[in-house]
Structure 1
């Protein structure tokens, strides 16, 4: 590369390689409970089933920060997401490329915190607290399985990783 210093040429070479590499979609959700163990779910306006609160990471946004941001945007709840409970690689399906799905421990909300939760994002029609069995019935089957695995990870202290081919 004529006219470039060695450092500039190396940077340009690396930038070109970076531009050609695959990008992953990243979903980041939060498992939030109340003091009796019920689970907070949201009812998205653009999906058939209920879901854990969270959403898609923005470009160059860490998954944990994406989950925290989505929680504020959807429900007006500010938390510091805890440890990672579930990480899944999901293969390409339908119109979607592959993605990474993170579920973080959102902890236990107090009664005062729950009283201040509001569905403030137009993408969320409502939210509710459900017993774990009822929460699983309202989720899409793959999300119900992730919820079960997240609950097991809470107890075991381990991160549950899985690969779901297309």
Structure 2
């Protein structure tokens, strides 16, 4: 069947909507790298999964990743930060029950000592927060997230965002 012409906007939009409904959807996560004045990294302890994580979370339907990151910081930590420069995009392949995912990491800047010391979980999704040395953060995070943290720290230094494949440098030959 021949697709309708854009000259017929109603039929054209219905045709595009049908195509859109059959396209795959990506899960999107948006995390934020925040440090304190001593260079320690902010980690959060979610109540809904084991271990520690970077602050942030999942984007809602049709929500831009940077806005998801800002929303999650406000909801979970009552924290507002300046606009977020992008540090990392990581494509994570399907694993366990999950489809593939795009994970963004943004630069949340440096919190002064007083704001860092006052930071506490603000909703039921977090049980704890901690500013920890980078080496300790790497040890507390799941391996893929530790590699993502390393890439974010490199991007802070170089000023160039990094694209990762499952937490590692993107293999050009894939």
Instruction: Classify the TM-score, shorter chain.
Output: over 0.9
State the shift of 1:118 in Å. Answer: 2.0
What residue in structure 2 maps to residue 109 of structure 1? Answer: 111
Is the Cα contact below 8 Å between 1:67 and 1:81 reproduced in 2? no
Structure 1: gaps of 5 or more residues:
none
* Aligned with residue 155 of structure 1, among 154, 157, 167: 157
Structure 2: gaps of 5 or more residues:
168-174
Q: Which contiguous aligned blocks of 4+ residues in structure 1 show a shift greater than 6 angstroms? A: none
State the shift of 1:80 in Å. Answer: 2.5
* CA distance in 1: counterparts of 2:64 and 2:141, whole angstroms: 25
Q: How many residues align?
A: 162
TM-score by length of 1: 0.93
TM-score by length of 2: 0.89
Distance 1:81 1:138, change over 3 A: farther
State the shift of 1:121 in Å. Answer: 1.6
State the shift of 1:115 in Å. Answer: 3.8
1:21-72 CA distances to partner (integer Å, 9 max, x unpaired)? Answer: 1110000000000111001000111222100000000000000000010011
CA RMSD of aligned residues (A): 1.6
Is the Cα contact below 8 Å between 1:26 and 1:56 reproduced in 2? yes
Is the Cα contact below 8 Å between 2:144 and 2:166 reproduced in 1? no
